[in-house]
Amino acid sequence: MRKKVSIVGSGNVGATAAHWIASKELADVILVDIVEGVPQGKGLDLLEAMPIEKRDSFVIGTNNYADTANSDIVVITAGIPRKPGMSRDDLLNTNHKIMSDVVSKVVQHSPNCILIVVSNPLDAMAQAAYKLSGFPRERVIGMAGVLDSARFRAFIAEELKVSVENVTAFVLGGHGDTMVPLPRYSTVAGIPITELMDSATLARLVQRTRDGGAEIVKYLKTGSAYYAPSAAATEMVEAILKDKKKILPCAAYLDGEYGIKGLYVGVPVKLGSKGIEQIVEIKLTPEEKAALDKSAAAVKELIGVIGV
């Protein structure tokens, strides 16, 4: 029996994640959305692409959460983007209401699923989903670090004119301005990038990684990134469904790890069939630890607004 992945939200991120997952033949995909017609149309379009891709993934779109029943993984992309004149607290409260509705329906129909949260503000929404679902922390994971690390890797490969396959990069912390790229743990074919570029170049790439989403928004003007975010969520889905035990940077609920308790923060984790199978603790310099603590404080401020 094939695995089943449901994606809540059929906008650009959700629909593109459905595309990646179906085209890799990882699972059957259910696209669910409150808007009538959009998930159905996109789901049917993807289903009709499968014969060309020579993939047997089944894809449907629906407005009914009953169709998501017994999903192995549910990817949550639902939420509204920040609009002109809207405060961050307004965005938080609106998306928290949406998350409350989504999670209650998901838990009702798929009580044993693993949740991957993509909705923004990422770390706060992951924390909300964790509290609302009642799931163990291993089964509620935020997607951020995979995306941020991919951006860092792309910029390193471009700068050094090497294959992206040779580049590994680590980004910790919250998803946003306070993220913590770690050059010491970022390598090209095992060589630390600190030995391959000067500190000014490194600082420029680190800043570009922090501004990665904003740079794309500036170009698009009326939208935000979706190819890389959906590909990042798909890598997490694949690691879980194939029980890869892959170490990826994800937003995880920390209970004392890294000296942080009771918060979702981006750290390296081992992803397998049970979700988060291990939180990997790496040694940080005092400067790196201070940056991670600052990132955690920013997450704490957000969750204070919505009371989770």
Can you read off the two tokens belonging to residue 141?
């994971």
Instruction: Kindly give the pairing relationship between strand 187-188 and strand 4-8.
Output: unpaired
Cβ burial 186-199 (10 Å sphere, 16+ → b, else e): bbbeeeebeebbee
Pick from 188, 179, 183, 121: which is nearest to 145 by CA? 179
According to DSSP, the residues that pair with 276 across neighbouring strands are: 271
Q: Are 30 and 4 in contact (CB under 8 A)?
A: yes
Can you read off the two tokens belonging to residue 75?
């990817």
Can you read off the two tokens belonging to residue 218?
């500036």
- Spatial separation of the C-alpha atoms in residues 145 and 158, rounded to whole Å: 20
Determine which helix (DSSP H) or strand (DSSP E) holds 302, and give its type and residue range. helix 286-306
Q: Taking phi first (over 0 means left), then psi (-120 to 50 degrees means alpha), and beta for anything else, what does residue 278 get?
A: beta
Please say if 96 is a catalytic residue: no
Q: Are 302 and 121 in contact (CB under 8 A)?
A: yes
Pick from 29, 84, 83: which is nearest to 53 by CA? 29
Question: Taking the C-alpha atoms of 204, 208, 211 and 214 in order, what is their torsion angle to the nearest 10 degrees?
Answer: 130
Can you read off the two tokens belonging to residue 202?
């490194």
Distances (CA, A) of 126 to 54, 103, 157, 265, 304: 35, 11, 31, 10, 14
Pick from 126, 124, 179: which is nearest to 151 by CA? 179
- Just list the catalytic residues: 175
